[in-house]
Amino acid sequence: MLRLHNERKNIPPSSSGRPASRGAGRAPGTATRLTTGMAPGTARGGGGQESGGGVALSSQVRVADRPMTKQGLGGMKTAVGPRRNQRLVKDRTYFLGLLRTKNQELSSEISNLQREADKTVEDQSTYVTYEKRAENLAAEIKECQRELGDYNTLVDKLNTEESINDIQIDYEDIKAGNEREGKVLDALFEQKQKKQEQISALELELRQEKSMADNMVADMPPNMKQKYIRSKEINEHLIRQLELSQRDLDQLSLKRKELDEELTSSPVKQEAVRLYEQLHDLEEKRDQLITETSSRLSPQEEREKLLKQVKEDNQEIAAMERQTLDLRDRISNIQSEIQQLDQDLEENQGAKSQKYRELKKREETMNEFLSSFEDTKQQEFDRIGMLEQNVVTILNSMSGDMQAVGHVPSTQELTAMREDLGLKEDEMKKSKTTASSLAMESQKLQEDLEKVETLEHKITSELANLKEQISRMDDDLTIYQDLDRLKREAEERKLQLGEDKINLYKRRESLRRALVYVSSDYDGLRTQLNDNETHIQLLNLERKWQHLEQNNFVVKEFIASKSHETDIRPVSKRVDGMLRNYNEHLIDVLGGKTPGM
């Protein structure tokens, strides 16, 4: 910025980047130092900067500066000519004046930059105005296009001699249709919100399931985990292929939809497509008939072929009759098997019913025993406890009596009493064993009952399948028994196809003529459309609209580029930084040194 300011004042900058001081006519030397109380060196005539009074005192004399002549050593040359006003002593006031000068220059430069920034902001506001105007013009163009469409529709209605009432009725119908579509759109929007909520819930569940799956995979054995990873990679590859295929399918569907829309908007194209399809079908039938005609033989060959065909038909009929007999034999065998199965089933059901009743009776007995087992067990324990108590009481009384009479029981009596006690304990253990064995037998019988029921269900399903096969075979027999009817139907079909062939030939010729007529009408309508003033105006308006859109885009790009170019914030920050650094440097210099006088 200082360089711009110096160029504006036509003052060349010095090599050190410092501007010239006040009153200086040119830039100082490249090695000028800020000194106090020291005069600068001498200069050549015509360009002196100091007065001649302080040259001899302040300059350092060098031998090389005194040239040798034939008269001897000469003195040093002093400055000659007019000298400019310049201070010999650069004191505090000099630097304050220099700072004021620099501050004034910076203030001037800042004001210039501010004016440029204001001008840029004004230009930018003008660009914004132009942009808004371009947007308004684009909106006006769209509105004019809509009005033009309405006027064209009105002109078409007037050309077809429709009344205002009809137009009003059409308007009401369109308005009602728009309201219905608005309601449908509102309903679809609500459905969309509900679907989005459902999708969010499903995504949450999916994340939870994925977390559970990751935990399960982490707990898998290494071989199973590797197998799972391979399967997952294959699945991801297939999913990517599916996405690519789906994308291609969507593109093809979109292209087909566009073609269908183009076809729908043009009745002539629809008729042409329909005629082309009919023509393609007729050409295929023509090729088929030509092939049949080319493969047609002579009468003798036809006779031999027919005889051969009759023989083959007779052989096929004989084979079909044999197959029919075989089918009948199979049906009779299957029916006999079914009867045998029915008998076996009835017998099995009778024996099974008897066995089931026996098992049921035993089960009831066991259930009754098991239900009363705890009570019986408790009663037996109580009875044993009472007996043990009685035994203890009797033994105590006997011991007292024997002590009273001085008699002690013998060893045989004590052994007999112990044997009785052991027998009673054995009986109690046997009762416990019997209860556990009865429970095991009940469980086994229950399993046998389930197996019998499964077998019964399987036999019933097989019987139903066999009956269905028999009914299907009966239907096939009914169809293939009447061979004469099949031959008649084949002949009738052949005759019908021949008649269709002739009719299609005739229709193809008429369609060709209609296609030529429709093509000529289409060309005429196309020519009329190209010559129509309204169509030409519409094309011109479309081109003008495209041109305005392009200009709008160019203006926006120009505005963006100018906004970027005229952004003064980086320059302002840089100037502030330079000014702050310069002030800090001056403060350091003034604080570190005391100016000399």
Dist. CA 24–CA 84, nearest whole Å: 8
Residue 335 near residue 470, CB atoms below 8 Å: yes
Residue 57: which residues within 8 A CB-CB, separation 6 or more? 39
Residue 19 near residue 2, CB atoms below 8 Å: yes
Which is nearest to 562 in space by CA: 111, 126, 136? 126
Which is nearest to 551 in space by CA: 144, 138, 122? 138
Residue with tokens 């059409």: 170
Which is nearest to 123 in space by CA: 567, 578, 582, 585? 567
Least confident of 28-42, 122-136, 174-188, 223-237: 28-42
Average model confidence (pLDDT) across the chain: 73
Q: Which two tokens stand for residue 48?
A: 């002196």
Distance of CA 56 to the CA centre of its chain: 92
In the chain, the largest separation of any two C-alpha atoms, in whole Å, equals: 184
Q: Does position 71 have pLDDT exceeding 80, yes or no?
A: no
Q: Mean pLDDT over residues 186-204, rounded?
A: 89
Dist. CA 342–CA 464, nearest whole Å: 12
Which is nearest to 266 in space by CA: 560, 558, 509, 522? 522
Other CB atoms within a 10 A radius of the CB of residue 48 amount to 19
Confidence of residue 43 (pLDDT cuts 50, 70, 90): very low
Q: Does position 537 have pLDDT exceeding 50, yes or no?
A: yes
| Bridge partner residues of 73 (DSSP) | 68
Dist. CA 138–CA 545, nearest whole Å: 8
Dist. CA 436–CA 427, nearest whole Å: 15
Residue 568 near residue 140, CB atoms below 8 Å: no
Q: Does position 412 have pLDDT exceeding 60, yes or no?
A: yes
Residue 552: which residues within 8 A CB-CB, separation 6 or more? 131, 134, 135, 138
Residue with tokens 């203006």: 555
Residue 452 near residue 352, CB atoms below 8 Å: yes
Length, in residues, of the chain: 597
Amino acid 385: pLDDT: 74
Other CB atoms within a 10 A radius of the CB of residue 55 amount to 19
Taking CA atoms, 285 is separated from 216, 292, 499, 500, 512, in Å, by 63, 10, 13, 10, 16
Orientation of helix 267-294 relative to helix 483-531, angle to 10°: 140
Other CB atoms within a 10 A radius of the CB of residue 511 amount to 19
Residue 3: which residues within 8 A CB-CB, separation 6 or more? 13
Q: Which two tokens stand for residue 52?
A: 């001649």
Amino acid 85: pLDDT: 54
Q: Mean pLDDT over residues 106-129, rounded?
A: 86
Residue 217: which residues within 8 A CB-CB, separation 6 or more? 225, 228
Q: Mean pLDDT over residues 382-397, rounded?
A: 72
Write down the domain spans for the chain.
1-10+88-162+542-597, 164-219, 305-391+423-531
Tens digit of pLDDT for each residue in 568-589? 778 788 888 888 888 888 888 8
Amino acid 34: pLDDT: 41
Residue 35 near residue 90, CB atoms below 8 Å: yes
Q: Vertex 507, ends 502 and 510: CA angle to 5°?
A: 135
Confidence of residue 395 (pLDDT cuts 50, 70, 90): low
Q: Does position 269 have pLDDT exceeding 80, yes or no?
A: no
CA dihedral 454, 457, 461, 467 (to 10 degrees): 140
Amino acid 103: pLDDT: 92
Tens digit of pLDDT for each residue in 425-480? 777 677 667 767 766 776 777 777 777 777 777 777 877 877 787 777 777 777 76
Dist. CA 593–CA 281, nearest whole Å: 109
Residue 595 near residue 36, CB atoms below 8 Å: yes
Nearest-Å Rg of the Cα atoms of the chain is 60
Q: What are phi and psi of 446, to 5 degrees?
A: -65, -40
Dist. CA 501–CA 494, nearest whole Å: 11
Dist. CA 325–CA 331, nearest whole Å: 10
| Bridge partner residues of 69 (DSSP) | 72
Q: What are phi and psi of 72, to 5 degrees?
A: 120, -165
Amino acid 110: pLDDT: 92
